[in-house]
Amino acid sequence: MFLDFIWYTACSFIRIFQNMTPSPTIQNTLAKITNAFHGMGKKNDILMQGVSPADISAPIQMKMGNVAMELDNIFSKALSLGASDIHIEPDEDTLLLRIRVDGRFMEYGRFPNSEKAPLIAKIKILSSLKIDEQRLPQDGKATYHDAASGKNVDLRVSIIPTIYGEKVVIRLLRKESELMDLRSIGVLPMNMVKIKKHLENQFGLVLIVGPTGSGKSTTLYSMLSRFDPEEKNISTLEDPVEYRIKGVNHTQINPQIGFNFADGLRSLLRQDPDVIMVGEIRDSETARLAVEASITGHLVFSTIHANSTVNTLQRLTNLGIDPLLITSSLRLIVSQRLARKLCPHCKVAYKPDESIKKKVLSRIGKYVSDPDELMFYHALEGGCEKCGHKGHKGRTGFFEILEMTEGIEKLVLSHASKTQLEIQAVGDGMITIKDDALIKVVLGEVSLEEVLQVLGG
Ligand SMILES: [Zn+2]
């Protein structure tokens, strides 16, 4: 079955290139691949067990003709810039290649539409997808070896048909952990104290919330990496596994075969874990299991789609969790957004307008030691060499951290409004996400324009 699939893939690939009159280099490589696949008789089945199609095809494919070289260039360029994903988008007559760095698109290049078929075929082979299928969406994965860093990178490939052909998005997941500590992802010292306190608990639920691409996974992994795997049984359920932490049991869930977060969590609980990370709470059953686990001696971390810390409380209620269970399980909600950091080498200082200064000080005055000397910064247009002429370099998080205090408990149990919850949380010491962002403006890490863009007026 498995060999049939490889053979089918190879044949489809060859058919596509035959139709296109391939260059001698490609023909030569195709001959090598054909021989390689011919060499695999059925008696070699045992040898192939546990080897994914991607493992076989990746090293061969990478050396192929110009299309492969171009793809290699794209990956190298994207990785050297610290990109998170690559987008290959066809339109009527061109093929646009863009890479996303720090949340913003950079154009890699535009190619004639004739490049589309071989490039997408190449990506499909690399990620073990059906080459002949061009009408339905497909998801695949592969591993890429980045020669520059010597590290392996997991590629998550998603293909979806558009009216101009297939659009491909490749997510780059660095295998080797490049974990950052909580401070370096933008957690302020006063918030660090809250997080540390709750990480010392033996049980409870910690939720990270925010839209897609707000850095929730990075925060989760930064928290997980604070535990000693030799002292704790740490297990995760993820989709996909984005980083690997030594000593942590990472499990990839697979909804396509019916292995979802809820199934995984039920099985995991039989393995006596101390710390559990559930990639995402999407449904009532997972929410209920996560809550139950967190009140029966486990420290559970997860993410949930919600706009703010206070909204999360309502979201849990909407998922059918009894308010009493919410108050007895939930310890901490971290809401976050990502923003571009100013390049420290070329940022430009300026004295803020008096009215703006007054507004800012009315919110975060207690954190500013010398209000008269208050300076803001903005990005230098055209940047410098060190930031690739962008004026920004790297990203930081804006955070809002809500603790389950006695006051919040009472309000949750009495079904209080969002406003009441917010007032109570701030009274209990919560720094709102807007204030967290403004503190970073005063610290010179981000511009006021960026805060307005990320959080709105
Ligand atoms: Zn710069």
Instruction: Give residue 388's Cα distance to chain centre.
Output: 23
- Structure tokens of 350? 């300026």
pLDDT at residue 64 tops 90: no
Angstrom distance (rounded) from CA 313 to CA 108 = 42
17 pLDDT higher than 60: no
The Cα–Cα gap between 217 and 280 comes to 10
Whether 23 shows a pLDDT value over 80: the answer reads no
- How far is residue 191's CA from residue 114's CA, in Å, rounded to a whole number? 53
More confident residue, 278 or 9: 278
Is the confidence at residue 13, as pLDDT, over 50?
no
Contact 22, 65 (CB under 8 A): yes
Q: How far is CA 452 from CA 52, 236, 252, 457, in A?
A: 46, 35, 37, 5
pLDDT, mean of residues 175-198:
82
C-alpha 70 to ligand 1 mean position (Å): 29
User: What is the rounded average pLDDT of the residues 103-119?
Assistant: 86
Residue length of the chain:
457
Separation of 380 CA from ligand 1 center, angstroms? 7
For helices 116-126 and 2-19, the axis angle rounded to 10 degrees is 170
Q: Which tokens sit at 25? A: 């280099």
Q: Above 70 in pLDDT, residue 69?
A: yes
Q: What is the pLDDT of residue 246?
A: 83
CA of 350 to the centre of ligand 1 (A): 17
Tens digits of per-residue pLDDT, 194-247? 999 999 998 999 999 999 889 898 899 999 988 988 889 999 999 888 888 888
Cα 102 to averaged position of ligand 1 atoms, centre (Å): 14
Q: Which residue has the higher pLDDT, 105 or 175?
A: 105
Residue 76 CA, ligand 1 centroid: distance in Å: 22
Q: In this predicted structure, what is the pLDDT of residue 34?
A: 32
pLDDT of residue 175: 61
What is the Å distance from ligand 1's center to 381 Cα?
9
Residue 288 CA to ligand 1 center (angstroms) comes to 48
Q: What pLDDT is stored for residue 382 in this prediction?
A: 94
Mean of per-residue pLDDT scores for the chain: 83
pLDDT band at 14 (very low <50, low <70, confident <90, very high): very low
Question: Is the confidence at residue 61, as pLDDT, over 60?
Answer: no
Per-residue pLDDT of 364-382, as tens digits, reads 999 988 888 899 999 999 9
Region 76-102: mean pLDDT is: 89
Assess whether pLDDT exceeds 60 at residue 363: yes
Distance 325 CA to ligand 1 centre (A): 49
Q: Using 50, 70 and 90 to split pLDDT, how confident is the model at 26?
A: very low
Looking at residue 80, what is its pLDDT? 86
Longest dimension (CA), the chain: 80
Centroid of ligand 1 to alpha carbon of 137 (angstroms): 40
| C-beta of residue 226 within 8 angstroms of C-beta of residue 199 | yes
Residue 154's Cβ-side half-sphere holds a number of Cα atoms within 13 Å equal to 14
> Could you please report the per-residue DSSP string of 265-323?
HHHHGGG--SEEEES---SHHHHHHHHHHHTTT-EEEEEE--SSHHHHHHHHHHTT--H
Report the 10 Å Cβ neighbour count for 3: 14
* pLDDT tens digits along 371-425: 888 999 999 999 999 988 989 998 999 999 999 999 999 999 999 999 999 999 9
CA–CA dist 344, 445 (Å, integer): 8
Query: Which residues place a Cβ less than 5 A from the ion ligand 1?
Result: 343, 345-346, 383-384, 386-387
